[in-house]
Amino acid sequence: MSLITIDSLVKGRNVHPDEAPRIVALWDEIRQLKRERNAFIPAHNYQAAEVQAVADYCGDSFELAVKSRAIASEYVVFCGVRFMAEGCHTLAPERPVYLPSLDALCSLAEVDEDDVLERQEFLRALGRDFSTMTYVNTYASVKALSDSCCTSSNAATIAARLGKRDILFVPDQNLAYQVAIKTKRMYLPPPDPNAFHPKEYRALIDPLIREGERQGLSGCVFAWEGACHVHHEMSERDIHVLRAQDPEAVIIVHGEVRPELQRLADAVLSTSQMVKYVEAHPEKKRFAVLTECGLIVRMELEHPDRQFYKTCRLCQYMKATTLENLLETLRDRPAERLITVPEEVRVGAARAMLRMIELAS
Ligand code: SF4
């Protein structure tokens, strides 16, 4: 049961008072339809607050896929972005999964499978003993090329348990840094994002590999050249300004921010860990949470006794879901919004996702 009410949305200035009757009417219609049709509505932590309010469950992408798999329902209307709906279909293909907006994509997930195959070949030619890990923020076709998936909360655990010296980490270069630090491996920065030139890349990584060996590190993390534009644009200045303004505020960042910010923060957490952190520390009153705004708005509504600095950024893909297209999808189940992947791809992606579940537990 969501703690978000129309009064709290209006009071928090997330909704204009004139808009309140329209939102309440949409909520009522969605809730009634959901019951009648036995549908399940998961919503990502970054969705708009009025969408999260009407969801059956809010969480990070992996929690949502696992939850959707466990809940018996006729169909799923996934309030998130496409790779998440794919993940939900991958784990439970017998249940139809719909995405309310086909504009709900992701800048981070845009990775070409051929580029991954080329990089794997390059590392094999170097004689590296490596596993390929894909962050869940990838499409099924890329997941299928990996040994295991991971989330931002379990990435280091999975990397430690895969049993290989090196990790090719696709696609988030900043989360790759977290994995390297936590597993005592050498972080190898990504190559030029526009074109992979093996010679130039070797000139970049060879001295770092030698340095890692000199330090006795347990291996290397080869970072891919991807980043989430929402988190990657956050700057160290954001944190310096906050520290100067309020030295007592707790600064929490997502693992998708740049390494410089990760080093300056009080904690580096996944979205679900951020929610738990705030709940577990009632004595802390002021927070700056550097991630997408949907989570911060919800935290403000759920914890009116705390103060949250507005350091967040909006993801336009996450905000492509609206109450209107959610209702339309729930009611009409448009064929073009049904999310599927070819079966041979789904099987490969499911193997990588299930390996993550096995290794993380
Ligand atoms: S916040 Fe970043 S990773 Fe998440 S959907 Fe938006 S672009 Fe993708």
User: How much distance in Å is there from the Cα of 318 to the middle of ligand 1?
Assistant: 7
User: How much distance in Å is there from the Cα of 104 to the middle of ligand 1?
Assistant: 10
Q: Following CA atoms 320, 322, 324, 328 in sequence, which dihedral angle do they give, to the nearest 10 degrees?
A: 60
Quote helix, strand, coil % in the chain, to nearest 5: 50, 15, 35
Q: Are residues 163 and 242 in the same domain?
A: no
Query: What was the pLDDT predicted at 1?
Result: 63
User: How much distance in Å is there from the Cα of 231 to the middle of ligand 1?
Assistant: 8
Substitution candidate for ligand 1 out of 108, 254, 293, 313 with most atoms within 8 A of CB: 108
Q: Are residues 78 and 130 in the same domain?
A: no
pLDDT of 182 higher than 90: yes
Q: Are residues 193 and 239 in the same domain?
A: no
The parent domain of residue 295 ranges over 230-309
Q: Are residues 253 and 296 in the same domain?
A: yes
Q: What are the tens digits of pLDDT across the range 138-149?
A: 999 999 999 999
Give the orientation angle of helix 323-332 with respect to helix 20-37, to 10 degrees. Answer: 30
- Band of residue 194 on the pLDDT scale cut at 50, 70, 90: confident
The mean pLDDT value for 300-311 works out to 91
pLDDT of 119 higher than 80: yes
Tell whether 240 is covered by a domain.
yes
Give the atom of ligand 1 at the shortest distance from the alpha carbon of 46. Answer: 1
Q: Are residues 301 and 206 in the same domain?
A: no
Q: Report the nearest-CA residue for atom 6 of ligand 1.
A: 315
- What's the chain's average pLDDT? 95
Give the atom of ligand 1 at the shortest distance from the alpha carbon of 106. Answer: 8
Substitution candidate for ligand 1 out of 172, 234, 270, 292 with most atoms within 8 A of CB: 292
Give the atom of ligand 1 at the shortest distance from the alpha carbon of 231. Answer: 2
The mean pLDDT value for 297-312 works out to 91
List Cα–Cα distances, 1 to 9, 44, 54, 206, in angstroms.
Answer: 16, 15, 9, 53
Q: Report the nearest-CA residue for atom 2 of ligand 1.
A: 228
Q: What are the tens digits of pLDDT across the range 206-246?
A: 999 999 999 999 999 999 999 999 999 999 999 999 999 99
Q: Report the nearest-CA residue for atom 1 of ligand 1.
A: 315
Q: Following DSSP, what letter does each residue of 314-347 receive, concatenated?
A: --TTGGG--HHHHHHHHHH--GGGB----HHHHH
User: How much distance in Å is there from the Cα of 125 to the middle of ligand 1?
Assistant: 33
Q: What are the tens digits of pLDDT across the range 7-39?
A: 999 998 899 999 999 999 999 999 999 999 999
pTM score, two decimals? 0.94
Q: Are residues 238 and 222 in the same domain?
A: no
- Contacts of residue 328, defined as CB under 8 A and 6 or more positions apart, other chains included, come to 100, 334
Q: Are residues 125 and 221 in the same domain?
A: yes
Tell whether 350 is covered by a domain.
no
Q: Are residues 127 and 222 in the same domain?
A: yes
Q: Which residues lie with the beta carbon below 6 Å from any ligand 1 atom?
A: 46, 81, 106-108, 137, 228-230, 292, 315, 317-318
Tokens coding 125: 């030619």
Spell 34-47 as b/e; 16+ CB within 10 A means b.
beeeebbbbbbbbb
Pairing of strands 148-150, 166-170: unpaired
Query: What was the pLDDT predicted at 195?
Result: 84
pLDDT of 175 higher than 80: yes
Asked if 78 and 85 touch (Cβ cutoff 8 Å), the reply is: yes
- Band of residue 172 on the pLDDT scale cut at 50, 70, 90: very high
- Band of residue 74 on the pLDDT scale cut at 50, 70, 90: very high
Query: What was the pLDDT predicted at 61?
Result: 82
User: How much distance in Å is there from the Cα of 216 to the middle of ligand 1?
Assistant: 35
User: How much distance in Å is there from the Cα of 21 to the middle of ligand 1?
Assistant: 31
Q: Are residues 236 and 220 in the same domain?
A: no
CATH code of the domain containing 211: 3.40.50.10800
Asked if 331 and 71 touch (Cβ cutoff 8 Å), the reply is: no
Tell whether 360 is covered by a domain.
no
Substitution candidate for ligand 1 out of 44, 172, 229 with most atoms within 8 A of CB: 229
Q: Are residues 73 and 125 in the same domain?
A: no
User: How much distance in Å is there from the Cα of 313 to the middle of ligand 1?
Assistant: 11
Single residue among 212, 227, 242 that ends a domain in this structure: 227
Total domains present in the chain: 3
Q: Are residues 219 and 130 in the same domain?
A: yes
